[in-house]
Amino acid sequence: MEEGKTMIKGRVVLMKKNVLDLNDIGASVLDRVHELFGNKISLQLVSVVRPQDQSSEGRLRGKLGNPAIVQDWITTITPLTVEETSYEVTFEWNEEIGIPGAFLVKNEHHSEFYLKTLTLEDVPGHGQLHFLCNSWVYPSKRYTKDRIFFANKAYLPGETPELLRWYREEELVTLRGTGSGMLQEWDRVYDYAFYNDLGNPDEDIENARPVLGGSSEYPYPRRGRTGRPPTKSDPKTESRIPLLKSLSVYVPKDEQFGHLKLSGFLGYGLKSIGQFLVNEGEALTDTTTHDEFDTFEDVFKTYEGGLKLPQGKLLDKIKQNIPLEILRALSQSDGEGLGKLPMPQVIQADKSAWRTDEEFAREMLAGVNPVCIRLLKEFPPTSKLDVEIYGNQNSSIKPSHIENNLDGLEIEEAIKLNKLFILDHHDTLMPYVRRINATDTKIYATRTLLFLQKDGTLKPLAIELSLPHPEGDQLGAVSKVYTPAEHGVEESVWQLAKAYVAVNDSGVHQLISHWLNTHAVIEPFVIASNRQLSVLHPIHKLLQPHFRDTMNINAFARQILIGGGGFLEQTVFPGRYAMEMSSFIYKDWVFPDQALPVELVKRGMAIEDSNSSYGIHLLIEDYPYAVDGLEIWLAIKTWVEDYCSFYYKNDDMVQNDTELQSWWKELREEGHGDKKHEPWWPKMDSCHNLIDTCTTIIWVASALHASVNFGQYTYAGYLPNRPTLSRRLMPEPNTPEYEELKENPDNFYLKTITAQLQALIGVSLIELLSRHPSDEVYLGQRESLEWTMDSEPLKAFERFNKKIRDVEGRIVQRNGDDSLKNRMGPVKVPYTLMYPTSENGLTGKGIPNSVGMAIEDSNSPHGLRLLIEDYPFAVDGLEIWSAIKTWVENYCNFYYKNDQMVQDDEELFSWWKELREKGHGDKKDDKTWLEMDSCQNLIDTCTTIIWVASALHAAVNFGQYSYAGYFPNRPTISRRLMPKPGDKEYDQLKKNPDNVFLKTITAQNPALMGVSLIELLSKHPSDEIYIGHREPNWTTDSEPLKAFERFGKELKDIEDRIEKRNSDKSLKNRAGVVDVVLFCSPTAKRDLQERNPE
């Protein structure tokens, strides 16, 4: 090697195309052929110290190192189940050139791959260096410039090392594109377009839809440009791609779902939605062919049974047009089965509690749309609609309708005391009611008045249902007011009135609260950030995690959901006017008002309060969305302040940041171009405005979206609770419909709201939308620990993560407070929509089913706090765990004085390597294995091994005979299904229930054999050695012997505490009505004792 040269070893982590797309499995073969002919993948490091000898355009650029080849591509076989593959690469590098700041990559293979990371080891003068890539790299023939990736350090534009500036600027030029031409999958272009692809006039004039955006009549945020050609019928409308080709709709490839999320999204999509595309194109609006739900029991059967996935040409077409990886999701055992809908939480505890007035009102504060209710400041309510166009639209609610339900207050007093609230969908819907009601859908514009009671709950006072005057809009509204009733036909009328309100609220929720305010308005921020902020920019690094999947989801939505004839039009009441209506509402959208404290004050739900850490005081103290949301908001804002303050020391640095100024200018003038002249846009001239802007963006994209999305199935999965459309108007007295309502109110209700097929499609759709994918990254988390090398932001992010965990604990605590009646309600569903983290799947929590058994708590001696305090296994087990860990720490610290001694222990290294690669060989590439490189990891590993082999085994083994020795208590087999009323078996159950029970469970001979076996397994042998005991002279080292003595004493103390807890009558789970828990007690007598051997 030449003098001054050194070799830098690197590790590339990537995902091959054949792993992500099994339909293109030939890609793997062709890539290997290319390798054989010398067409390889090469990387070149870029210097930040030494310039190129010749730089174009007079601009300096960092010198490139020699190309380094990714090694062993051919010999590294990637199993289809493995996501990531690691390859070695060796760079020849001159130490004088300094630390690399970037690298170029050339892909000379046939196929693209997903490049995740490059890690350089032992870079002279630096040590380890990380490059986070997370990008698709296509064959170089698809690019006009080499792909570049930068090291994980953030720079403001003016602080960028000079030799990287050209690369930084050129990368942004590439991402902006030329503004013309049809974009292809390998293009990385972010650009703007109107929503001009919602209709298909070439197919039918009925399928035409107005262009949203670019006009004062239909203003709208911009979407990502695709460049598809216009339709033949209308040059202003962009042509659409076929429904079954929806996966190929253009968004920049790096914005597409990760393969795990895509697999789950479409796998569940086929399960949830594909099953209802009956008869391949049956018109959903043809209500004559649809079955009806006749009773609420019919609706319940939807969840208790299961629907068969139809076979035929449609499913075959779907299978041919999506990657097989997604179809594999269909065959996975996810515990739900094809077409079987999970039971929504709103009816799990009580199937009728949703019908109560208390729950109806509570969901306005803690349901899936808690962002519309506002304080009533004047009575009667007034309208802001133009009188010249719509006439008098003020409310017809009179004092006589409500004054008897105000707890003795006068209306003026109730208003003064902030006791009256309103859910007002009147002005939003009235301009569309006449057109909507000309279709099969029949709706009202609604106003709902509510009273705040002494216990903090809301009570409905009156519902106003309004229609446009039959002789013309300018003549105003025709309204009727309904008040609560508990008996007879009046109660049924009141239930219908609440249903019309729920229909309005469902539509406003889906179109406005969810789609417009958290999806559509965010897409311009995604586009502008990628066009104007380099990946090196600190604000790009701050915001990028909150833009994940936004463009892709929105593109899918245009294809499948919100376009003409899409699922939303078919299942939600505005129908073909849905998107047009969202444009009408966008006219009133104001960016600064999206900040939670501002928004709450604007709705009158809070007043300004300089003494509060949030700057406001809530008027309804038990307002779960707001209470939890404000804690999340403050955590976000503190994190953003800490982060921005590290990079921007004063306002001048904000003003002089050229990329930041271009970003903000383009966002306003292009991304939200129809609002570019609004005076309310903040100026990007101070640290304060930057912090407020970023806080609001993160809030909207994360917590606000979570609050209106992930609870959809919880509350709307049971359609009668939140119907999405109504098919007939309120029946009038002395009409056949009124008599029908009297005779069979439930049937009338079900025939008024969403029809059966539409309901099933709608419920299946929101089940899909409510799920968390398996690769979800939650607020306070990052995909990689090496997202930046700047230490102060990393520390600030750790503090943010801790704050988020603390919020989780307080949410759980509030949900357990019986005095806070709005957190649970009659349906017994705790408010968890602002709970920051979640398991994957359908959980009703998690800021993109049940609450976990514990939460992290740094103040606890075990590092966590149990949510069920009287949980004997966990209480006793945690004491045993802590004793084991303390013993292991004392023992290991005697032999290993530092991490280097662990790393230098050849036997230890070989043990851990063989255990992973041989003993658990099928999981050798699993990323969860600890590295055996520190005392801490060694201690954690040994503690876990001892816990599993001793205490955990004892807990699940030595109590078998105690509980399962009497096999009717824990039968191992069932031989027949539940008898149904009317069957012969049902009559037998009535006559002799014990006999039927015994004939259903394990038969006599297998039962006796099984009991004999578990008796044997539950016995302790005479030579059992228990945890905390050893044979004498097991070591001559005195310090470990003393540590072991302390361990034995601690276990004896634990045993005494267990005995004491077992005799505590207030701990009802310890003994119950049958036995005493001793499974984690460290010692035992011989034979059948439920105690703990080593």
Q: What residues are paired with 64 via a beta bridge?
A: 46
The predicted pLDDT at position 866 comes to 66
For 75, the token pair is 């010999």
For 111, the token pair is 């196929």
Nearest partner of 154 among 674, 688, 540, judged by Cα: 540
For 591, the token pair is 């960016």
Which run of H or of E encompasses 747?
helix 745-752
Nearest 5 degrees, angle CA 538-CA 544-CA 548?
170
Q: What percent of the chain has pLDDT over 70?
A: 84
Judged by DSSP in three states, 291 sits in: coil
183 Cβ partners below 8 Å, 6+ apart? Answer: 177, 189, 191, 225, 226, 227, 250
* Mean pLDDT lowest among 48-57, 61-70, 581-590, 734-743: 48-57
For 522, the token pair is 């965010």
313 has pLDDT over 50 = no
- The H-assigned helical ranges of 273-393 are 296-304, 313-321, 324-331, 357-366, 387-390
Most confident range (mean pLDDT) of 81-85, 348-352, 416-420, 866-870 is 416-420
The predicted pLDDT at position 838 comes to 64
Q: Give the up-direction half-sphere exposure of residue 835: CA atoms within 13 A in the CB hemisphere.
A: 28
The predicted pLDDT at position 16 comes to 80
Peptide bond before 793: cis, by omega within 30 degrees of 0?
A: no
Q: What percent of the chain has pLDDT over 90?
A: 54
For 612, the token pair is 């509060």
Q: Tell me the C-alpha distance between 690 and 695, whole Å.
A: 8
Q: Tell me the C-alpha distance between 725 and 715, whole Å.
A: 16
Q: Tell me the C-alpha distance between 1052 and 1057, whole Å.
A: 9
Confidence of residue 50 (pLDDT cuts 50, 70, 90): confident
Q: Tell me the C-alpha distance between 291 and 137, whole Å.
A: 51
The predicted pLDDT at position 566 comes to 83
The predicted pLDDT at position 867 comes to 59
* Mean pLDDT lowest among 94-98, 685-689, 1080-1084: 1080-1084
89 Cβ partners below 8 Å, 6+ apart? Answer: 9, 10, 11, 12, 43, 68, 69, 70, 71, 118
46 has pLDDT over 80 = yes
Looking at residue 1026, the DSSP 8-state letter turns out to be B
Nearest partner of 527 among 149, 183, 846, 251, judged by Cα: 251
The length of the chain, given as a count of residues:
1094
Nearest 5 degrees, angle CA 586-CA 590-CA 594?
105
The predicted pLDDT at position 669 comes to 98
Judged by DSSP in three states, 92 sits in: strand
Looking at residue 52, the DSSP 8-state letter turns out to be P
Write out pLDDT tens, residues 87-127: 899 999 887 778 899 999 999 988 899 999 999 998 888 88
Looking at residue 475, the DSSP 8-state letter turns out to be G
* Mean pLDDT lowest among 257-271, 407-421, 934-948: 257-271
Nearest partner of 771 among 834, 848, 853, 850, judged by Cα: 848
End-to-end Cα separation, the chain, in angstroms: 57
Judged by DSSP in three states, 61 sits in: coil
Q: Tell me the C-alpha distance between 61 and 70, whole Å.
A: 24
Judged by DSSP in three states, 1060 sits in: helix
Query: Which is more confident, 1074 or 858?
Result: 1074
Query: Which is more confident, 763 or 47?
Result: 47
In the block, which residue shows the tokens 């002395």? 734
Are the C-beta atoms of 825 and 642 separated by less than 8 Å?
no
Q: Against a cut of 0.95, is the pTM above it?
A: no
For 212, the token pair is 């949203």
The predicted pLDDT at position 621 comes to 96
The predicted pLDDT at position 378 comes to 96
Q: Over the Cα atoms of the chain, what is R_g?
A: 33
Q: Tell me the C-alpha distance between 832 and 714, whole Å.
A: 11
For 260, the token pair is 């795990």
The predicted pLDDT at position 745 comes to 94
If you average pLDDT over every residue of the chain, what do you get? 84
Kindly report the number of other CB atoms within 10 A of residue 989's CB atom: 18
1090 has pLDDT over 50 = no
Query: Which is more confident, 78 or 556?
Result: 556
Looking at residue 610, the DSSP 8-state letter turns out to be T
Amino acid at the residue 1057: R
- Phi (first) and psi of residue 452, to 5 degrees: -85, 115
Are the C-beta atoms of 592 and 675 separated by less than 8 Å?
no
Q: Tell me the C-alpha distance between 805 and 856, whole Å.
A: 7
Q: Tell me the C-alpha distance between 726 and 753, whole Å.
A: 4
Q: Tell me the C-alpha distance between 461 and 483, whole Å.
A: 6
Q: Which long-range contacts (CB under 8 A, 24 or more apart) does 376-385 make?
A: 376/415, 376/420, 376/421, 376/422, 376/449, 377/415, 377/604, 378/415, 379/411, 379/412, 379/415, 379/420, 381/422, 381/424, 381/426, 381/447, 381/449, 383/426, 383/427, 383/430, 384/427, 385/427, 385/430, 385/431
* Mean pLDDT lowest among 375-389, 748-762, 864-878, 1007-1021: 1007-1021
Which run of H or of E encompasses 449?
strand 445-452
Write out pLDDT tens, residues 611-651: 998 999 999 999 999 999 999 999 999 999 999 999 999 99
Are the C-beta atoms of 426 and 383 separated by less than 8 Å?
yes
In the block, which residue shows the tokens 């039971």? 343
Confidence of residue 859 (pLDDT cuts 50, 70, 90): very low
741 has pLDDT over 90 = yes
Confidence of residue 860 (pLDDT cuts 50, 70, 90): low
* Average pLDDT over every residue of 125-151: 92
273 has pLDDT over 60 = no
The predicted pLDDT at position 391 comes to 96
Alpha-carbon dihedral of residues 681, 686, 690, 695, nearest 10 degrees? -90
Nearest 5 degrees, angle CA 323-CA 327-CA 328?
110
Are the C-beta atoms of 137 and 50 separated by less than 8 Å?
no
Which run of H or of E encompasses 168?
helix 162-176
Q: What residues are paired with 422 via a beta bridge?
A: 374, 449
Number of DSSP helices (H) and strands (E) in the chain, helices first: 40, 22
Which run of H or of E encompasses 136?
strand 127-137
Q: Tell me the C-alpha distance between 613 and 630, whole Å.
A: 10
The predicted pLDDT at position 837 comes to 66
Nearest partner of 209 among 247, 238, 178, 169, judged by Cα: 238
**Dihedral of alpha carbons 576, 580, 586, 587, sign:** negative
For 489, the token pair is 């036909």
For 68, the token pair is 């380094």
Write out pLDDT tens, residues 1012-1040: 777 777 777 767 788 888 877 889 888 88
Residue ranges of domains in the chain, CATH in brackets: 5-176 (2.60.60.20), 347-508+720-764 (3.10.450.60), 872-959+1018-1071 (1.20.245.10)
Write out pLDDT tens, residues 985-1016: 888 888 888 888 888 887 887 777 777 777 77
- String of DSSP letters for 396-433: ---HHHHGGGSTT--HHHHHHTT-EEEEE-HHHHHHHH
* Mean pLDDT lowest among 159-173, 913-927, 1066-1080: 1066-1080
Looking at residue 704, the DSSP 8-state letter turns out to be I
Are the C-beta atoms of 610 and 548 separated by less than 8 Å?
no
The predicted pLDDT at position 565 comes to 84
473 has pLDDT over 50 = yes
Amino acid at the residue 117: T
Q: Tell me the C-alpha distance between 97 and 62, whole Å.
A: 9
Beta strands in 853-1000 (DSSP E): 854-856, 864-866
* Average pLDDT over every residue of 810-828: 94
Judged by DSSP in three states, 226 sits in: coil
